[in-house]
Structure 1
Amino acid sequence: MRAFLRVADAREESDPQLKEWVRQVREIAYDTEDVLERYMLRFASHDTSGFRGYYKKVCASLKNLKARHQIASEIKAIRSRLENAYKRQQTFRDIYPIMNQGSTSSPAWYDGRGDALLLEEVDGVGIENPKERLLAWLSSIDYGLKVISVVGMSGLGKTTLVKKVFDDTSVEMNFDHDAWIAVSESFKVENLLQDIIKRLLKDVKQPPPQGLEAMKADDMREFIYNLLQNKNYIIVLDDIWTQNVWEAIRYAFPRRATHGRGYIIITTRFNNIGHTACSESNGHVYKLEPLSEEKSRELLYRKAFPRNSCPPYLEEISERILNICEGLPLAIVVIGSLLVTKNKKIEEWEMFYRSVGSELEGDHLKRISKLLSLSFYDLPYHLKACFLYLRIFPEDELVNKATLIRLWIAEGFVEAKQGKTMEEIAEGYMNELLNRSLIQVAETFSDGRPRSFHIHDLVREYIISKAREQNIASVATLYGFSNPTQQVYKGKNLRSLLFFGPGNSEWGPILYEVMSGGCRMLKVLELRGAPIDAIPDEVFKLYHLNHYERIQGFTASYEMGRLLCLQKLCYINLADAGGDRIKIVREIGKLTQPRRLGITKLRREDGKELYSSLAKLTNLRSLNIVSFEEESIDLEYPLSPSTFPFLQTLELQGRLERIPQWIGSLNALIRLNLIGSRLQEDPLQYIQGLPNLLLLKLYRGSYERQELSFKAGGFQRLHTLSLARLKGLRWVRAEKGSMPLLHNVVMWHCESMREMPVGIEHLENLKYVDFTDMAEEFVERLIDEKRKGDQWRLAHVPQVVVYNRVNGKWKTRQL
């Protein structure tokens, strides 16, 4: 069934009858999964007694016979439904060629560029500055080939912008040849090359060469090359969907010339296509952004009130509608043109605002919906479920990348690949959605990696509509409603329960009831900010649970070792565990799949048992340990270098006698945070050889001596160094050859330091330096050195910022 759905998926949108049949097969597949997982839940062993125990449990227990018979009956009923669906395939014989050929063709092409080109002059609001930028690039006197890429999501006006540039008088006057080529999604290289030749020759009133249709692709490339050699030309390739387009025609254009200037302008929603095409010619990428609030308002008012201004009583509802559009010009134009028919009746405007989702499904906003459908159906099959899963997040909430990746994995959307972790594969999925401009980066880490992203409101409405249609992410998602009497789905097949809070405290009893009820099929439990103090013991008996996330510390059950599929567990609070504390630490070692583990209020005497448990967790990617108040963390037990082969993040918060030596063998470690460690011995000597360390943080008295010295050859990949609240630290030295890739230095409230780190001038790749709340003498010396000009050791750093308090208020200085 899954194989059939994967293949039929590419055709269902263009065939309503096939679409209905696919819907039926999809429902049967979901029901089959339910039956199989209930079987696993009913008969799988929760102990470690091996196959013999499993065999006895299934075959020797008389009480299981009834359950086995019931499941067998359910499977028989599913087979009958599937046979009936199979008989219906006689109506859809055309599915067989699809399955045999493995076709992944998209539904009938909808040329959304036509919408953009039909925008009138009055609609070109907000493109003045982008147009000037592109014209400035086109005025370059460099000979040879330059590629300019205009990149952005559907509906931003990429085509409109480039058409304004293409039609500008200065462009017409300065180029011998010009051609505008609309690239179809299912292009053929021969047809594309023929189109280019015809357009170029038509522009100079020459007929196409005889036998053009019969020419080979190589011959056509050579013809274009000779035609454009030493000529001034501009060619627009509008709406490129695949890298293959550029690969197929790139060598048709002269790259070096003694006289001619050639420009290729590409519009695409794919970031990688835009950057790749520009890289070879040292060209330019222009990332088109949404309109500002002011320009969005101007455009809406022009369309909705063509001869008048906006009446005061419609201003508030206008702002709400603009919030939906989020600066997307095509959306504003289409919606404005629709609102002009509402005759300025506020009740009709309100009705439209409430029904935007259904309007996307109807005829009114069909153009926007079609553009989004093109992007959706162009996605690989495995990405479609991941994309539609985004419906679970509340409106206007930034989506945390790490959380979403873990949810995708727990839901089973990520396909395993040899040589890659599931997290790496899932991160590739997210990068592809970003590349296709279906989601936008909202926040980044200090090293530039995406931290969270944003979903455009209209994209979200489309996702909700399509997910409802395909029954994707039908989960009980609790958004922290103020009225806890609303019904919460408590069905026996509930798979995911997510609470995005903050919610009314009265939700607590309802959550307890749901979690301790009959939700035995639960795979995903997200209780971020949930108003509860403890987790019911029943949760730790959920055999299928893959993802369990709760930011606040909680008291774990000593039976949590049953959660064999659990991938994230944080933060376990050992302070209130009493006599069960050691049992809980031992239970941690029974978990086989955890990727992230967080433990708080660890006592010194727990160290040995913790060491024994940690040694079994070979899949860990992230480990956070926090000690109980001022107690030391005892982690001096030897661990094999192969114990944590995948550990990428390690945070130790609490006093350490010395830095555990096994940290130096964590070859996969990317981030290391030491907080309150009170180390007397220089920790750098043990960690400077870590081959993949990108981020090092030493916070709140983690080091108590006066000097930190970064030796030559150490920290070869370090990207960010943060030192904060190290009261005793007076000198930092960076020998030449240390930290060659360091981009960011952040020093905060190191009150004993009086001067900049010695050797900071050797860190040639520094991009950002931040000195916050440092001693006044430190700041004065810094400013004095800047005044001297040629002795300024940070002259090579693009951004140097100083934050300090003046009269109780933070003051910022850019040096």
Structure 2
Amino acid sequence: MAFNLESLITILQQILSPEQTRWILDDHNKPQLESLLQKAVSLKQIHEKSPVPKIESLESRIREAAHKAEDIIESHMVDQVLCSRPEEVRFTFSTADDDLQQVMQELDSAMEQVVKLVEGKKISTDSSSSSGASFSTDPSWKTVVVGIDEDLMQLKDRLSRMQSKLEIIPIVGMGGIGKTTLARKLYNDPLIVTRFEYCGWITISQDYNVRAILLGLLGCIIGKLSSELIGQKDHQLKDMVYKELYGRRYLIVLDDMWSTSSWDDMRWCFPDCNNGSRIVLTTRESGVAKYADSRSVQHQMQLLNKSDSWNLLNQIVFGEDDDCPDVLQGIGRKIVNDCGGLPLAINVIGGLLCNSERSRDAWEHIAKDVRVAIAETGDQFSNILSLSYNHLPNHLRPCFLYMGAFPEDHEIKASRLVRLWVAEGFLKENGEKSLEEEAEVYLKALVERNLVSVRRNKGNGKGKSYGIHDLLRDLCMRKADEEKFLHVKNARVQKLRILYSMRRVSAHTSYRIGDMFASAEFMSLARSFLCTGLMSREILSPIFFASRLLRVLDVFEMEFPEFPREILQLVNLRFLALSYKFGGLPSEISRLWNLQTLIARFEAFHFLPSQIWEMSELRHLKLKDTQFWIEYGYRKTFVQKKLQTISTVNLDHLISRGFLGYIPNIKNLGICCRFLPSSAVDLRHLHKLQTLKCSFDSPSEGDRSFVATLIFPSSLRKLSLCECAISHKVLTTLCALPDLEVLKLRKCVFDEDEEWDAATQGDAFGSLQFLLLESLNVVRWRADETNFPKLRQLVIRGCSRLEEIPCGIGEILTLQLIELDECSPSAVASARQIQEVQRSDYENYDLQLRIS
């Protein structure tokens, strides 16, 4: 409910901000907008502080009222801008009296209902005696278990080793992955249980009751509870649990823990008598596990591989003694592969196959859409996954639902996802962090809740791209549809309900896509359109004309012949990504006054129109597969305070136009040089610059030394150099960068006789974690652990002349990966030798070696 109000609140705060200069508010509209803002904020705060029972009709009323207010306000703003002259920069905001009055009345009515619900919930909670927890000294457990032998071995070792201090052992993973199953296998192992004097199993759940948990613990310890004991107060029960456990070695399983508060309620019940006691904690939330004990290593559950998945399904359907008939093997493996390695899904589909005819026709019917078949088995499976969504705080819900906008198995770049969330208005301003930094915190929170997974890491270990399990994606799409948050069009969703309130539309395929937009009015209120399928210009043009309130337009995967002029009418856009063949950016691009992110791909070099620098909201400007020049008409009158990304711009123009002085908050900069600068290029005033990409593009080989003219800021964390000359002076400069974590050298030329002698020259990259050497002229390389003390990944590609990797590289304690591609046999042999030494001399089996 609350997140439906967030976008409206953001719009109103922007209009009413004393710092904004675009909108002039008259004496009537300003108090009306202030009143609307106050009502929306109050309703949101009540919901966040006192969660309201889920009532679909109430949520629908609030959602529709918020959407209607947004539509009224933004329609008026768009009309004003489109009707104005190009040179106008200020507009009068004025709406009719009745437009917003009805919305405010609806919010007032919703507020009254919410207050009554909150008060009623308090009364119900105070008088309720429901436990919200279950306990057992011997939990019943009969299920088929496959693929957890390694997990069991690791955890048995932690439970039985001779560490006397109380140890908390968290088992973490997404819903349905088998955390409880693994914990039960441990709990029921006689060799484990006999080590402890007291054993207890408590299932906590989301809506737990502290008193019930305490009584459950006492029941596990002393058996039958007397009426006198049951009548004790909570603090007395805590004391009793503590005293009963004190001095005894105990094993307690806390199953399905959702919040840090539940740990706070119980932590003082467990004494640490240095006698080898253990607490096993299962949770979907990594943050809860870390809160319970930040020093304890979390046991992260993994999805089953294809072999274990098939073995599990085979045992569920045919038992341990029989095998699947050959005629069903192929279709059976297809079915289990569609479960994505999730044990819960395999168990559900296995039960369905057990009750179906064991014929190829019956199994093929199920195989047509396994996830639909799972969903139709009942609510149990859906409810288990839905618990994770229901437990999400309001500010994370739209971010999770947005994951459904991307195709199945899609690898989503973190930078793109973050910029889309910012454009959608999901983030709240934070004085300490930028919107993008706050979005990264949100993304990390979804990962810690095991709802989103990291697909690829950056060189410094941070997430580069993310993904979502197919079954969680189905949950996303289902919840997004219920919330009228997002509508997805793909080959699996062939029918479109006629909804005039579409807020976000994502098209994944060209399959009958034209049918979706047979009537352009379907898109008249849409705020976002993302397309990863191919569509013709004839289909898209009506969408551009009809969807005048769009904030997000991502059609980057398509290629237009030229910049579509219809887009210039979408003055409400915050995010625009597109590709086209001919021409640069039109000067009228500045009409998109709200634009925050512009990503474009087009052929050849072009001057950027000077008007683009008048776009005060611009945060990210990225032109792919090309470089741009700054037009001579650029006026040095406006400092781009919000601009964080520019790529790729011609360095000569940056200098000659004096542009570097007007981007003080730039974080990501891509530059290309054609001519050697006549003097040093000082970048030290760019104190927020973290990522810098430098490339050389000139027929003159002598100018490659331009990188030696750059004076880098100390804030730099990632540096990429392409086709540059690398001298000892340059390397010394790079070593002096205190925070440099990633260094990529592509097609660079080393001046020192085709040699990089880091050991003799004393080059020390103190913070470097990732080093890429690609297509270099280096023949000899000398280095050891003192040159790269924190290196984690070494990637060498296309360095066919490199004789060997220095053996000293193998002595770097942090090294996790050596990757070689198209390198000499002697270099490959040296890498294998490093790995062998690590295993034989240091018993380090974690160093990975990839050769291709």
Change (3 A) 1:182 1:431: same
1:335/1:365 contact within 8 Å kept: no
Instruction: State the alpha-carbon separation in 1 of the partners of residues 524 and 664 from structure 2.
Output: 34
Distance apart, 1:373 and its partner CA: 2.2
Q: 1:768 aligns with which of 817, 825, 828?
A: 817
Change (3 A) 1:798 1:755: same
Counterpart residue type for residue 144 of structure 1:
K
Q: 2:336 aligns with which of 315, 322, 326?
A: 322
Change (3 A) 1:416 1:298: same
Q: 2:670 aligns with which of 624, 629, 642?
A: 624
> After the TM superposition, which residues 114-129 of structure 1 pair with which residues of structure 2 at under 5 Å, given as runs?
120-121=142-143, 123-129=144-150
Counterpart residue type for residue 105 of structure 2:
E
Q: Note the residue ranges of structure 1 that are not aligned, 5 or more in a row.
A: 60-67, 804-809, 811-815
Change (3 A) 1:142 1:343: same
* 2:195 is the alignment partner of 1:148: no
Change (3 A) 1:564 1:84: closer
Distance apart, 1:8 and its partner CA: 4.8
Instruction: State the alpha-carbon separation in 2 of the partners of residues 615 and 438 from structure 1.
Output: 42
Instruction: Provide, for residues 262-313 of structure 1, a one-character-per-residue CA deviation record: whole Å limited to 9, x for no partner.
Output: 1111111112333454554xx5532222233333334334545679865666
Change (3 A) 1:113 1:563: farther
Match of 1:687 in 2: 734
Instruction: State the alpha-carbon separation in 2 of the partners of residues 367 and 113 from structure 1.
Output: 21
1:654/1:676 contact within 8 Å kept: yes
Counterpart residue type for residue 228 of structure 1:
L
SS at match of 2:725: coil
Instruction: Provide, for residues 600-637 of structure 1, a one-character-per-residue CA deviation record: whole Å limited to 9, x for no partner.
Output: 2457996454443454334433223356xxx4475967
* 2:723 is the alignment partner of 1:666: no
Distance apart, 1:598 and its partner CA: 3.5
Match of 2:479 in 1: 466
Distance apart, 1:645 and its partner CA: 4.0
Instruction: State the alpha-carbon separation in 1 of the partners of residues 775 and 369 from structure 2.
Output: 53
Match of 2:249 in 1: 232
Instruction: Provide, for residues 232-251 of structure 1, a one-character-per-residue CA deviation record: whole Å limited to 9, x for no partner.
Output: 32111111111233344334
Instruction: State the alpha-carbon separation in 1 of the partners of residues 845 and 161 from structure 2.
Output: 29
Match of 1:648 in 2: 690
SS at match of 2:349: helix
1:144/1:254 contact within 8 Å kept: no
Q: 2:285 aligns with which of 244, 267, 270?
A: 270
Match of 2:609 in 1: 584
SS at match of 1:525: strand
* 2:95 is the alignment partner of 1:79: no
1:593/1:619 contact within 8 Å kept: no
Q: 1:597 aligns with which of 622, 626, 630?
A: 622
Instruction: State the alpha-carbon separation in 2 of the partners of residues 268 and 434 from structure 1.
Output: 13
Q: Note the residue ranges of structure 2 that are not aligned, 5 or more in a row.
A: 6-39, 488-503, 633-649, 698-702
Distance apart, 1:387 and its partner CA: 0.9
Instruction: Provide, for residues 386-418 of structure 1, a one-character-per-residue CA deviation record: whole Å limited to 9, x for no partner.
Output: 111111111222333222111111111112211
Instruction: Provide, for residues 752-797 of structure 1, a one-character-per-residue CA deviation record: whole Å limited to 9, x for no partner.
Output: 544545965774433334455445565667778999x79x999989
> After the TM superposition, which residues 291-310 of structure 1 pair with which residues of structure 2 at under 5 Å, given as runs?
291-304=304-317
1:701/1:727 contact within 8 Å kept: yes
Match of 1:436 in 2: 449
Instruction: Provide, for residues 443-474 of structure 1, a one-character-per-residue CA deviation record: whole Å limited to 9, x for no partner.
Output: 22233222223322222222211111111124
RMSD, aligned CA: 4.4
Instruction: State the alpha-carbon separation in 1 of the partners of residues 210 and 745 from structure 2.
Output: 56
2:159/2:278 contact within 8 Å kept: yes
Match of 2:745 in 1: 698
Distance apart, 1:638 and its partner CA: 4.7
Indicate the larger mover: 294-303 or 192-201: 294-303
2:766/2:789 contact within 8 Å kept: yes
Change (3 A) 1:730 1:253: same
SS at match of 1:727: coil
* 2:226 is the alignment partner of 1:241: no
Distance apart, 1:153 and its partner CA: 1.1
Change (3 A) 1:716 1:545: farther
Distance apart, 1:697 and its partner CA: 0.8
1:198/1:208 contact within 8 Å kept: no
1:561/1:589 contact within 8 Å kept: yes
Change (3 A) 1:341 1:254: same
Instruction: State the alpha-carbon separation in 1 of the partners of residues 400 and 475 from structure 2.
Output: 11
1:156/1:328 contact within 8 Å kept: yes
1:674/1:697 contact within 8 Å kept: yes
Instruction: State the alpha-carbon separation in 1 of the partners of residues 666 and 309 from structure 2.
Output: 47
Match of 1:64 in 2: none
* 2:594 is the alignment partner of 1:558: no
2:818/2:831 contact within 8 Å kept: no
Instruction: State the alpha-carbon separation in 1 of the partners of residues 436 and 134 from structure 2.
Output: 35
2:132/2:207 contact within 8 Å kept: no
Match of 1:388 in 2: 401
Indicate the larger mover: 514-523 or 656-665: 656-665
Distance apart, 1:659 and its partner CA: 4.6
SS at match of 2:298: strand
1:6/1:381 contact within 8 Å kept: no
Match of 2:525 in 1: 493
1:180/1:238 contact within 8 Å kept: yes
Q: 2:468 aligns with which of 455, 466, 490?
A: 455
Change (3 A) 1:30 1:637: farther
Instruction: Provide, for residues 58-113 of structure 1, a one-character-per-residue CA deviation record: whole Å limited to 9, x for no partner.
Output: 49xxxxxxxx6xx52xx725533653675577777623538999x9xxxx998899
Distance apart, 1:182 and its partner CA: 1.6
SS at match of 2:263: helix
Instruction: State the alpha-carbon separation in 2 of the partners of residues 109 and 549 from structure 1.
Output: 52
* 2:750 is the alignment partner of 1:718: no
Counterpart residue type for residue 669 of structure 2:
L
* 2:350 is the alignment partner of 1:336: yes
Counterpart residue type for residue 271 of structure 1:
S
2:738/2:767 contact within 8 Å kept: yes
Instruction: State the alpha-carbon separation in 1 of the partners of residues 154 and 841 from structure 2.
Output: 34
2:135/2:200 contact within 8 Å kept: no
Match of 1:422 in 2: 435
Distance apart, 1:360 and its partner CA: 7.1
Match of 1:479 in 2: 508
Match of 1:408 in 2: 421
Distance apart, 1:143 and its partner CA: 2.6
Change (3 A) 1:143 1:777: closer
Counterpart residue type for residue 547 of structure 1:
F
Instruction: State the alpha-carbon separation in 1 of the partners of residues 830 and 407 from structure 2.
Output: 49
Distance apart, 1:178 and its partner CA: 0.8
Distance apart, 1:573 and its partner CA: 4.8
Counterpart residue type for residue 495 of structure 1:
R
Match of 1:135 in 2: 156
Change (3 A) 1:351 1:487: same
Instruction: State the alpha-carbon separation in 2 of the partners of residues 288 and 735 from structure 1.
Output: 34
* 2:764 is the alignment partner of 1:727: no
